[in-house]
Structure formats: structure tokens, C-alpha cells
A and B are shown apart, each in its own frame.
Chain A
């Protein structure tokens, strides 16, 4: 076939451009680690990668949510443990005071201890979450102190009022899966999260029951102490046990959800990598091939271009 001199050089220039372009693309893939960078590189892979990145961001947020709730759960658990210690001492006092051998002085001493324990318990349930500075047991009305203790002139507790509410916040720990870790101080609505101090469904009403015990001790009413008061305190003990168990159950769920979120995030990392990452071995091989082809094109072109009939004319 006859070849025009300019057709030949034009073709060579096109070949050089194609080979240079291939090398630039492969070098870019190696330096970024990505085979897909722009939508036009691979539209499907780009769409999948964006979708996976979005899912991964959601999983990372769920992990963050879980971490925050776990921190709160630990704070609540710490308070529950202290309350259980107080509850145990209260049980001991009720049992001892309900006997027949106590003098009124002994009962007064017990009453003083109960008063002190009420104050301690009130202080505990007014604990703030160290992470957020919000009250742990005020329900969603967490900005103000939930429990307020009133005493008479003798220092005896006459009442404990609750200014929180019975609502709790749900937290999303996986797509469409929520849990609540909050414990409201009081719930007399008959539904929702069980109240820590007072709950109408279980009969728990710790502060009022302790005030009754305190008053019965002061009045020497051992019958009420061994009867009604002890029974009421058992309801409070059971309620407290439920709260500890609920806390443990939720913490277990959080641990599981955290593992799942991490696992899914890792899985998404693999998917993102498969869709958009450059395979080093393959890319290096392709670059070597392109470089070899480029070198061959340059050498052959240079050799051919140096020759024409003019070299042989005298």
C-alpha cells in the first residue's frame, strides 16, 4: 500500500499520544490506589462505591451512637450498683427493726440511718451523665434536677418530689434498630420505660416507702415495719433488680451491635476496595506493557524516519 509521508507521521503522533495517555492513566491509578476516580471511569463501580461509602458512614455513625450509649449505660450501672448497696442496708435495717428486742432509742437510730440513706439515694439519682452534663434519671426532661428532698425541722425527710418525666430517648444502633438506655426516675403512666424509683406497674415507690419506714421507726410501729414496709421495700428491691438486669441486657445488645457495625464497616471496606481500587500487580504489569510498547514505537519510528531515498542520492 502506498503511504503518504504525512499520513505516516500523523499515525506515529497518534500512536505516541495513545501510549502516553495509557501510561499517564496507569501511573495515576498506581499513585492513588484507585482504578475508578471519576464517574466516567466506571459508572456502575462509581455508583456502587458512593452507595457503599454512604453505608459505611452510617455504620460508623451507629458505632459512635453505640459508644455514646455504652458510656451512658456504664454511668447508669454505677448508680444502680450504689443503689443496690443502699437497698441491701435498708433491708437489713427493716429486718432488724421489725424484731421485738429493739428499744425506741435503737429504732430512732435506725430512723436516722434511713434518713441518711434517703439523702444518699436522692443524691445518686440526681447524678449527671459526665459525657453530656445531663441528669441521668430525669427522663427526657434531663436539663433540671429530677429529685428534690424536703425535710422537717428535725431533719427528717418529709417528701421527695420528682420533676422529670417518664419519657426516654431511643437511639439508633443499626439501620431501623433502636434501643433506649435511659431510665426515668418515675413512671406512673402504666406504659413505657420502667421507673427507677417509682413505677405504678410494679408498685415500686422507693422514696415514699423509705419515708414510711423512717416514720414508722420514729413512732415505734414495728408491726408496720415488719409488715407493710418490708413488703413494699421488697417491691423496690425487685424493681432495682429489674433495672440492673435491663441495663445488662442492653449492654449485651450494644456489644453485639457494635461488633456487627464494625464487621459491616469492614465488609463495606472490602466492597469499596473491590469496586474502585487498583490491583497493584495487574496495574504494574499493564504499565510495563505500555512502557515497552511506547519504547518500541519511539525506537522504530526514529529508525524509520532517519531513512529516505535522499540518503542514497548522490
Chain B
């Protein structure tokens, strides 16, 4: 039998237990807007009973643990999806940059009618400028002695060459930006690796001393998710609560030790890849923004830049081969129309640009009015080129644009899908681990009422003790 003092002790522990409940509820409410916070709950257990002649008698309740409400499987899924999301976000960013660099967009004037708009569509990039170049060759062929036609040709050819230069510069800049982004991501990954090792140490120590380091676990989970968005990781939890982290098959964090870190290396030609810093092991990564950046840079971006360069070099070669065999209005021959060898270096021969009469449109030195060379140059518009996979200049460029569009469209779709998946998982995790204000307020009232009742019990016992003492004095 507990007796008055035992029951008073029960009431006292009950007050402490309910107070712990209020404290945990307060902690949850305080962190309702904290990113990555996992709600906590107080575990209350009945105190051991004591045997009496009439049966076991309860001794109240104790708060035995404050636990996180967490679903480890959901956390693992979110880590995995973060990696996929990071990969496609990086691809999307890189390809959007490439699309902007290519500057091939359609312009309209908003002349939409009730059914379909009348066509006033123009394009802003190389496609229209290539068409203009060949149209200008036609104009010169039609009026071979016209200086104004030649001036228009020079002007449009200079615009085309400048656009080739600009596209190449933009794509080079995109490549440089991606390499910088890669370096920043690797630095961020190393920082997270270091933090995870530190947190492992603190968590192990806390576990060893019997404490439950809930906030540290939240912090480490956030770091693991952030690291996952940078690269695909394998995380395994040890018995002491520490998490080992492997990237690309290499263990970088073991317990509280950072075994290795990441660094970029030049695989040749400025192609930055990733390896372990100490071991020097070249890593094959499978996800995350680091690999997304590498794949976009070495995939679609490199292919597009190569295609643009091949287009420019083929144009230079074909036009020069024909043009150099022609004769100008003054009878000169042998000059190239374009200088340079690729998209970066293509320019219109300055001598011709300064004096369009020197454009070699005639096929014979004795007849300035001959147009046979200009006609051959104009015919290049519809001629298939072996260097362009037996496509015309226009078709080859169109394919390059479409390939970029396909890749970016895929990236956009994947980002959209990943966003939906991540949101769904986040909602699911929120349903388990997220703080719900209504629920916490209800819990608060529950603990408050229990505390109030326990306090009333103490008051009652106090009165009873007083009554008992009064019996002796009276």
C-alpha cells in the first residue's frame, strides 16, 4: 500500500511526467517551421506496481524516453530521390544555358486569329542567317555585276560569321560555368562529408552515454540528403549510431573518421572529372548534380558544340573551294571568301568585305557578267554534304537544334517528374515526422489537464496529511 506519502510521491512524479510532455510539445511547436525537424514524442510508461493483499497496486507513471517519430525507409527513399533530382536539375540548368547560348528561338508578332495565327514567324539564330547567305548568293548570281547585291552578301555573311563566333563563345562560357559549378559542388560535398563525420562522433558519444541525440540526428539526415543531391551515396548505419558513407564505391566516412575527400582532376582538354583526393581513385558516379553537370557538359553540350563547329568548317571549306576558283569584277582570283577554320575563327575575308567587287562570282576572267560561280555557291543551299552526314547545311543545323531541344525537354520532364515524386515523399514523411499544430495544441491541453489533475491530487493529499496530523493534536 502506497499510503499518503507514497501517493504524494506518485503525484509529484506525475507532475514531472506531464511537465515533460508539455516541454516536448513546446519543442515541437517551436520547430514547426524548422527545415528537417523530426517531431518528438514523450514515451510514458506505468511505474512498477507493488503487491498488496488485494492485488497489485499501481505507482503512477514515468516519462522514460523522448523519441523521434521517424520512418527510416522514407528517409532512405528521399535520399535516393534527392540524388536523381540533383542529376536532372543540373542537366536542366546546363541545357537551358546551352539553349540560350545557341539563341535559336522563334519570334512572332502576336497576330493570332480565331483559328491559327497568320505567319509572321522568324527565327533569331543561325538558321535564318544561313538562308540569307544562300539567298544573297542567288541575288549575286541573278545580278552578278550589282555591287549592292555584293554588299548585301558581305553584310549577311559577316552577321553569320559573328553569330557563329558568338554561339561558340557562349558554349565555351557555358562549359566554363559548368566546370566552376562542378568545383563548387565538390567543395560542398567535402564540407558535408566532414560535417557528417563530426556529427557521427557526437551521436556516438551521446548514444554511449545513453542519451538520445534527436537534434543531431536531424542535422545529419539533412546533411545526408544534401550530399545525396550532389552525388549518389551509400549510407549504412553502424551499431553505435554512426553512418558510414560511400561514394562511387569508395568509403569516405567511416564512423567519426573522414577516410578521404573528393577533388576534381583534368582528364585532358579541360574536361574536369572527380576522384578521391588522397587515394587518387577516379570515380564513376551515377547520380547527383555533380554527375548531371558532367553528363550535360560532355554529352549534349559537347555534341552540339562539335556539330556547330563541323557546320562552320564545312561551310568555310565548301564556299572557299568554289569561290577561290572564280573571278572578281576586276579579274582577280584565288581569294577565299571566309577566313578561319571553325565556329570560333570564321570571318569574312576582310579584303572582300572592304571591296565587294572582289567577290569572285564569275567563272571566267574575260566576262565580269558571268554568274556561274555565284550560282554554284547558291546551289550549296540544297547540296548534301558528306561532312554533315549527307545532309544539307540547313537540315544538319535543324537536327542539332532538335537534338538540344529533345535533351532539354527530357530534362524538363524528368525534373517535373522528380519534383512530383519528391513532393509526394516529403508529404509522406511530413505525415509521419512533421509537426501538426492542431495535434500539438491538443496534446498540450491533454498534458495541461493531466498536470492540473496531478496538482489537484497533491492538494488533496496535502489536505489529507493535514487532517491526519490534526487528529494527533486534537
Which residue numbers of A lie inside 8 Å of B, CB to CB? 1-8, 10-11, 14, 30-34, 36-44, 46-47, 49-51, 53-54, 57-58, 60-62, 64-65, 68-69, 131-134, 138-143, 165, 167, 169-172, 175-176, 178, 269-270, 272-274, 276-281, 283, 308-310, 313
Given contact pairs A44-B402, A47-B402, A278-B117, A33 touches B131 in the complex (Cβ within 8 A):
no
- Main DSSP-derived SS at the B contact region: helix
Q: Is A54 within 8 A of B394, CB to CB?
A: yes
Inter-chain contact total with CB atoms closer than 8 Å: 261
Quote the shortest CB–CB distance from B235 to chain A (angstroms). 24
Q: Is B438 within 8 A of A309, CB to CB?
A: yes
Tell me which of B33, B382, B426, B430 contacts A176 (CB under 8 A): B382
Q: Is A170 within 8 A of B113, CB to CB?
A: no
Q: In the bound complex, what is the Cα–Cα distance between A60 and B135 (angstroms)? A: 9
Q: For B120, B146, B369, B409, which residue has the most chain A Cβ atoms within 10 angstroms? A: B369
Q: In the bound complex, what is the Cα–Cα distance between A2 and B429 (angstroms)? A: 10
Q: Is B404 within 8 A of A272, CB to CB?
A: no
Residues in B with CB closer than 8 Å to A131 are 143
Mark contacts of B410-446 with chain A using CB atoms, 8 A cut-off: 1 yes-contact digit, 0 otherwise.
0010000001000100110111111111110110010
Tell me which of A42, A53, A279 contacts B128 (CB under 8 A): A53
Given contact pairs A6-B33, A39-B401, A58-B381, A50 touches B115 in the complex (Cβ within 8 A):
no
Nearest B residue to A280 by beta-carbon distance?
A: B112
Q: Is B401 within 8 A of A277, CB to CB?
A: no
Q: In the bound complex, what is the Cα–Cα distance between A185 and B432 (angstroms)? A: 96
Q: In the bound complex, what is the Cα–Cα distance between A297 and B302 (angstroms)? A: 43
Q: Is A34 within 8 A of B405, CB to CB?
A: no
Residues in A with CB closer than 8 Å to B142 are 64-65, 68-69, 171
Q: Is B408 within 8 A of A40, CB to CB?
A: yes
Quote the shortest CB–CB distance from A258 to chain B (angstroms). 14
Please tell me the size bucket of the interface on B. Answer: 35 or more
Quote the shortest CB–CB distance from A99 to chain B (angstroms). 45
Tell me which of B106, B369, B394, B445 contacts A34 (CB under 8 A): B106
Quote the shortest CB–CB distance from A215 to chain B (angstroms). 33
Quote the shortest CB–CB distance from A59 to chain B (angstroms). 10
Quote the shortest CB–CB distance from B142 to chain A (angstroms). 5
With A32-B109, A49-B106, A277-B116 known, 5 other A-B pairs at CB within 8 A are A6-B430, A38-B105, A53-B127, A171-B142, A313-B445
Residues in B with CB closer than 8 Å to A34 are 106-108, 117, 121
Given contact pairs A58-B134, A143-B145, A309-B441, A14 touches B423 in the complex (Cβ within 8 A):
yes
Binds A, one of B78-86, B184-192, B259-267, B370-378: B370-378
Residues in B with CB closer than 8 Å to A308 are 437-438, 441
CB-based closest 3 A-B pairs: A4-B434, A7-B430, A39-B405
Quote the shortest CB–CB distance from B361 to chain A (angstroms). 10
Quote the shortest CB–CB distance from A37 to chain B (angstroms). 5
Q: Is B106 within 8 A of A310, CB to CB?
A: no
Within 8 A of A (CB), among B88-120: 95, 99, 102, 104-120
Quote the shortest CB–CB distance from B34 to chain A (angstroms). 9
Residues in B with CB closer than 8 Å to A38 are 99, 105-106, 405
Q: Is A43 within 8 A of B146, CB to CB?
A: no
Q: In the bound complex, what is the Cα–Cα distance between A43 and B409 (angstroms)? A: 8
Mark contacts of B374-408 with chain A using CB atoms, 8 A cut-off: 1 yes-contact digit, 0 otherwise.
01001101100000000000110111011111101
Q: In the bound complex, what is the Cα–Cα distance between A104 and B32 (angstroms)? A: 127
Q: Is B138 within 8 A of A65, CB to CB?
A: yes
Q: For A42, A131, A170, A172, which residue has the most chain B Cβ atoms within 10 angstroms? A: A172
Q: Is B119 within 8 A of A273, CB to CB?
A: yes
Q: Is A277 within 8 A of B117, CB to CB?
A: yes
Q: Is B394 within 8 A of A310, CB to CB?
A: no
Nearest B residue to A36 by beta-carbon distance?
A: B106
Given contact pairs A50-B401, A276-B106, A5 touches B116 in the complex (Cβ within 8 A):
no
